[in-house]
Amino acid sequence: MRELIHIATHRREVLIDVTASVRAIVARSGIRNGLVSVYAQGATAAIMIQENWDDSVGLDVIHLLQKIIPKGVWLHDRQDGNGDAHLKAGLVGPSQTIPLIDGRLGLSQWQNIFLCEFDGPREQRTIVCTVLADD
């Protein structure tokens, strides 16, 4: 089963929790055991599994990436000024695979799934969520 999640982003760099949307897709699938693939379309966005306890972790992720991949110093910036966003998205990666166990995402209590926006704001980001059964 495959569904798309569409999200508008409102800042240049932000982590947006998409766990509830993925859980809803899993519930609609009726699949109990297997894998869930969460994939961000676009070369300047990524998917990350990270702590969900408070927003400081997401802000720390953004600040770390801003320090190691600063804006405005890359060859690609000559084209459209977002060379850093491409590098950040490539470093984090476009997808995550989560085990599906007895109808539930195999995340720990402190893990959630985040869309990482590195080149916003965007009217629409698309996430492809694919649920695959074991059998």
Each residue's pLDDT tens digit, 72-87: 989 898 899 999 999 9
Other CB atoms within 10 A of residue 119 CB: 21
CB-based contact 13:86 (threshold 8 Å): no
Distance of alpha carbon 36 from alpha carbon 61, whole angstroms = 24
Q: Alpha helix (H) ranges present in the chain?
A: 19-29, 55-68, 77-80, 83-92
Give the residue numbers spanning the domain of 78: 2-133
Length of the chain in residues, anyone?
A: 135
Q: Is 66 helix (H, G, I), strand (E, B) or coil?
A: helix
**Domain CATH number, residue 81:** 2.60.120.460
Q: Which residue has the tokens 């990350």?
A: 48
108 burial (CB, 10 Å; 0-12 / 13-18 / 19+) is exposed
Whole-structure pTM over 0.75, yes or no? yes
Each residue's pLDDT tens digit, 93-134: 999 999 999 999 999 999 999 999 999 999 999 999 999 999
What is the number of domains present in the chain?
A: 1
